Structure 1
Amino acid sequence: MTNIEGRNPVIEVLKSDRQIDKIMIANGAKEGSIKKIIGMAKDKNVVVQYVNKAKLDEISTSHAHQGVIAIVSEYEYSELEELIEKAKSTNEDMFFIILDEITDPHNLGTIIRTADAVGAHGVIIPKRRSVHITPVVAKASAGAVEYVPVCKVTNIVNTIKRLKEEGLWIAAADMDGEVFYEQNLTGPIGLVIGSEGFGISRLVKQNCDFTVKMPMTGNVTSLNASVAGGILLYEIFRQRNKG
């Protein structure tokens, strides 16, 4: 079992099919969204346990539980072939986000949240040297982990090659690329976002079809991975939906 922490993430997990063992709520918390959570839990026959806030502080890993923690089954990752088949079933051009060794849980959670907003069909992460789905990631995603499939793969390069077999063009976010809003980002596409400190690895970059960059005029020469990802994902969204 694992934790889902915070009001919005707990509401979203209550909407999902995920198994919930119980929901722990701080004594005296009954206002607004907490009242909604209590009602939803009652409708789903989920046990609600009232505890001291100190107890929630003790078991919280996000340190931002907002007075509520749900104890739920472990996150179920998708297989790559599942992602592909599910994307095909939508009759939309496939749209995946590939993360190359993202280690910050807040960045992963925020990217998953943006992936949900732009209609991406899944997020792909490596099994090693990457943060996985944790309570902190779930909190940062504001519950989007319940809707966006996440796949763990052994080898990012082989995954890119498999996606190319399905007709995807793979774009790498890299400062050596072409200006992103001048590129054609329509059609089946995968966007590779590199790690916070080192960017995209050489071998992964070599296997991408093209690179895109964000022009910058300030003194800081790079953006946070989730901020850069958000900008690029919304440009893909804009191009896919214009007209």
Structure 2
Amino acid sequence: MAKRGRARKEARRGLPHFYGRHAVEAALDNPDRDVRKLFLTREAAATLEIPDGIPVQFCEVTDLARHVPKDAPHQGMVAEVAPLEDLLLGDVLDAGDRATLLFLDQVTDPHNVGAIFRSAAAFDAVAVVTQDRHAPPESGVVAKAASGALELVPWIRVVNLSRALEEAAEAGYWRIGLAGESDALLADALTPGRNALVLGAEGEGLRHNVGEHCDTLAKLPISERMESLNVSNAAAIALYAAAQR
């Protein structure tokens, strides 16, 4: 089933092009990542350990520009990769007594999602869970912002986020929705056991139905001079708090 899912993603979206040293090296180091082709300057190639069997096309710096977004810092290396195989939420739920899951409710900006993956890796989150239709696909932008973390933290895509939160609850996770209007602080809402942090999109926040499927709502203790934080910054602080509980 997972392989068929990956084939559908490839057909629908085309193959992602990861760029930049951290993203490319992490993809090469990940045994679960199928790297189809490398586009490299000769200078960059000399600094990489390239596994046997991966085709390499040597390019000038200007030629690499057509494989990446405009003005993207590719550092002389681009990897054409296949999307990782799909995982089920149930595959990651049994991750220890002090595990932290991160749910994103319609966070669609690829830079934010990539930055969140980087924080998730830094603070040992079990996985990042998103709704399949309201999250960016794997892409060079996400991988660049994640700085290699896309290869380290499982990305679970689900059809219905509320049902996924119910599944997490059945596995013993305490579901905490981040909401600025709450009177409770995140530090007081965290349990010493399994926690599931739920963050909504900037501006809109958590959708009502998703909030209804949380056990409690809590906020970060930010100054009244600021209404809110960027969602990737909020995720980093929340993950740090969970790691320090």
Report the TM range for the smaller structure's normalisation.
Answer: 0.7 to 0.9
Q: Which amino acid aligns with 1:47?
A: P
Q: 2:222 aligns with which of 190, 210, 216?
A: 216
Within 2, Cα distance between the matches of 1:146 and 1:190? 21
2:37 corresponding residue in structure 1:
22
2:82 maps to 1:73: yes
Aligned length: 228
Within 2, Cα distance between the matches of 1:184 and 1:74? 34
Q: 1:36 aligns with which of 16, 37, 47?
A: 47
Within 2, Cα distance between the matches of 1:56 and 1:24? 7
Q: 2:236 aligns with which of 230, 233, 238?
A: 230
Higher strand share: 1
TM-score normalized by structure 2?
Answer: 0.87
Conserved 8 A contact 1:97-1:122: yes
2:54 corresponding residue in structure 1:
46
Q: 2:169 aligns with which of 164, 169, 179?
A: 164
Conserved 8 A contact 2:64-2:78: yes
Q: 1:205 aligns with which of 193, 208, 211?
A: 211
2:15 maps to 1:9: no
- 176-185 or 52-61, which moves further after superposition? 176-185
TM-score normalized by structure 1?
Answer: 0.87
Deviation at 1:7, TM superposition (A): 0.4
CA RMSD of aligned residues (A): 1.7
1:57 corresponding residue in structure 2:
65
Within 2, Cα distance between the matches of 1:92 and 1:147? 20
Within 1, Cα distance between the matches of 2:138 and 2:86? 9
- 189-198 or 50-59, which moves further after superposition? 50-59
Conserved 8 A contact 1:77-1:149: no
Q: Which amino acid aligns with 1:214?
A: L
Within 1, Cα distance between the matches of 2:137 and 2:191? 28
Deviation at 1:218, TM superposition (A): 5.0
Conserved 8 A contact 2:18-2:143: yes
Deviation at 1:187, TM superposition (A): 0.6
The 1:36/1:163 distance shift into structure 2, 3 A limit, reads same
- 208-217 or 104-113, which moves further after superposition? 208-217
Q: Which amino acid aligns with 1:80?
A: L
Conserved 8 A contact 2:16-2:138: no
2:105 maps to 1:100: yes
Gaps of 5+ in 1: none
Conserved 8 A contact 2:176-2:190: no
Conserved 8 A contact 1:103-1:196: no
Deviation at 1:25, TM superposition (A): 1.2
2:202 corresponding residue in structure 1:
196
Q: Which amino acid aligns with 1:221?
A: E
Within 2, Cα distance between the matches of 1:128 and 1:73? 19
